[in-house]
Amino acid sequence: MNEIIVLGVFLLLALGAYWSMVIFPRQRDFQKQQKYVRTLSVGDEMITYGGIIGKVVSIEAEAGTAHLEIADGVVIKIVSASLMRPYNPEELAENAQKAIQASAEE
């Protein structure tokens, strides 16, 4: 009988640890992303999860989509949740330089 109680407590602790280390951080990141997407406005330059850089032309909030201009006259319709972060050329270049330096050091 004691083994069953110990096993039950162990399983509960393992489930709690899994939730706190895997599920909770993902939920928090997803909620943060959704909050960010709701603050988007027309004219923002964005990077998508696929790495496409473009300018937000319009947002259809009720449909969960956005129109992104990726070149002059080329507008694509994407799921607004795929807009990952604002496009900042300086930050992007800095991160690329750090990656190059890190690979050179290895």
- CATH no. of 41-106: 2.30.30
Q: What is the pLDDT of residues 17-31, one digit of tens each?
A: 888 888 888 888 888
How, if at all, do strands 74-79 and 65-71 pair?
Answer: antiparallel
Distance in angstroms (rounded) separating the CA atoms of residues 40 and 29: 17
Q: What is the pLDDT of residues 30-52, one digit of tens each?
A: 888 777 777 788 888 998 888 89
pTM over 0.75: no
How, if at all, do strands 45-48 and 65-71 pair?
Answer: unpaired
Q: What is the mean pLDDT of the chain?
A: 85
